[in-house]
A and B are shown apart, each in its own frame.
Chain A
Amino acid sequence: MATITTKQAPLLPAPSGRAGFGGTLRSEFTKIGSVRSTVWTLLVLFAVSVGIGAVASRVSATGWSNTPPADRTPLDATQVSMVGLLVLGPLVIVVLGALVLTAEYSTGMIRTSLIAMPRRGVIYVAKAVAFAAVALVTSLATALTAFFLGQALLASTHQSATLAGPGVLRAVLGTALYITLCGLFAFAAAAVIRNTAATITAMIGLLFVLPVLVNVLPWGWRDDLVRWLPTSAARAISATVWNAGPQNSHLFSQWGQFAVFAVYTVVLLVAGGILVRKRDA
């Protein structure tokens, strides 16, 4: 048996102040980066989203050249190049956003974390910030890569965009922000629900099923409801060809539509924070 001693080189004297946000934020970054499956999932999200965007761009370019000029409708080259991220991004990021919290509850790690840092609000905010940062960096890198690759593939149409083009930068940044918002929304939902499967199911219902269900409603109802859907933010913010015609007349402005989802997310984040503080862990 190994001899036991706890004698050790004297520690640095306890620093003044108290354990707070900075250390906890570093800890949360370590948590995200040290689970291999998370890192792989983000890399796959990047690769597959860029891939789908490239395929969509290639198909659009072919379709454009095969369509008589008179029949061509305006091509939103920016949106087409990011279609992979717009479809796949929310799916992947809500799973990760939920797992950031529910994996701690299901493994019991949350209790270990709370013993190390008992100020729950600090942990909650640090977790949200660390995850949001990772989600934003990943989706921004994905959006930009997909954009540039897609524009190269769409060059033959002479419809391809540059970042300086009208609304293009907003669409690229906005798409990355939308993906981040989806992740944060799932994170907050997980704080309320505390169960991985239930949280992911709820998120898929909200982001993938609800928009389809709304479409089978009578048109008048549909138009009243659709502006309140979180997913309308994606449609609005990623568009560079946006007219206030009949198609979009029932929606708010592009940032306005984004703000609807942002407000939902903030409200749910606050609710989740209150519950994390109040409930027994």
Chain B
Amino acid sequence: MPVSNNPMIEVRGLTKRYGEVTAVRDLSFDVLPGRVTGFLGPNGAGKTTTMRLILGLAYPDAGTARIDGKSYASLAWPMREVGALLDARAVHGGRSAYNHLLCLAQTNNLPRKRVGEVLELVGLTEVARRRTKGFSLGMFQRLGIAGTLLGDPAVLMFDEPVNGLDPEGILWIRTLMKVLAAEGRTVFVSSHLMSEMQNTADHLIVIGRGQLLADCTMEEFIARASGQTVRVATPQADVLAKAVAEAGGTAVGGADGTLIVSGLLAAQVGALAFNHGVQVNELTVIRASLEAAFMELTADSVEYRAGAEGTRGQPAGPGQPPQELAGHGRPGYEGRS
């Protein structure tokens, strides 16, 4: 499959309202082939709605979504051009995995042997004749992915494909997405977890409350997210904090008695400490995790947030030392409200 730079998915001014709520607001972006494009946003940001609009399942109030220049409903052979999985459980439980895929294949005149091939590909051959009623979520995901691959399409869309999967399943899907992108296909995958995208996506489209927050490569996202915070361990924290404030930075007391400085480079903090005769026991540049950058970026756009204002920007996930987050720089992303 030749890789071109022509966008395979083009979203322009897409808007969708449900009564009072605007689920997607004037959203525009491109998805290019040959790479995994992560579609990130907190729950309720409008990711699924956007995908439903692209696929013609829902109709937009304004704007257009095109695939290879055409609206989804006008694609000649939809399954040979796009494979999309929105909800892996959206399967009639009384039908076997084989028959489920067969009735999908028949709509696009795909040969019957393709069903066996994709079942083999996702490792469901042994349960192909079983009704899907008793399938685990992981098996549903594999079945859904088998369905997307039936027509060997150039464009693949997955909505939260790793939700509820065990680590092995997650690794399998990550690898699959990379392989598909390496084959030159367009892979567009949504998630509400930055950590999920960190190892998979080459490009990111971040939305919050239905609006575009960022559209950049993963490298750009990392660059913007890091290098802004310096942790200082010092017995004279108050002196240094004052000096930092005078120099235009921000200093916040960390959880373990350290000082977290943002807005200044490590060398500037070191010079300040030297000039003010402050003893420094430790000076560390903290590269904020992508998770933290993502939380920071979307903090204002999260629809439902647990806890008080003080929890803003802090991930709930385990394994995130809180001091890495406190007061780290706020990168100014375009489009941020």
Contacts and interface: CB of A to CB of B under 8 A. Distances in A.
B55 A116 contact: no
A112 B97 CA distance: 14
Interface centre among A38, A113, A119, A280 (most CB of B within 10 A): A280
Contact of B108 (A19, A110, A112): A19
A280 B102 contact: no
Contacts of A119: 73
A36 interface: yes
A30 B105 CA distance: 11
A18 B76 contact: yes
Contacts, number: 136
Contacts of A9: 117
Interface stretch (B77-85, B260-268, B308-316): B77-85
A112 B57 contact: no
Nearest to A27: B106
A103 B93 CA distance: 10
Contact of A26 (B76, B80, B106, B149): B106
Interface string B159-184: 00000000010011001100110010
Contact of A11 (B78, B92, B106, B114): B114
B21 interface: no
A112 B90 contact: yes
B160 to A, nearest CB: 14
Contact of B91 (A26, A30, A109, A117): A109
B204 to A, nearest CB: 23
Contacts of B59: 280
Given A1-B168, A23-B109, A111-B87, A31 B76 contact: no
Interface in A1-39: 1-2, 4-6, 8-9, 11-12, 14-15, 17-19, 22-24, 26-28, 30-31, 34-38
Given A14-B76, A115-B57, 7 more contacts: A2-B172, A11-B114, A23-B109, A34-B103, A115-B78, A116-B107, A118-B72
Interface of A: 1-2, 4-6, 8-9, 11-12, 14-15, 17-19, 22-24, 26-28, 30-31, 34-38, 103-104, 107-119, 280-281
26 contacts: A2-B172, A4-B175, A5-B179, A6-B180, A9-B117, A11-B111, A14-B76, A15-B109, A23-B108, A27-B106, A30-B103, A34-B103, A35-B92, A37-B94, A109-B90, A112-B147, A113-B104, A113-B107, A115-B82, A115-B86, A116-B78, A116-B107, A116-B108, A118-B72, A118-B73, A280-B58
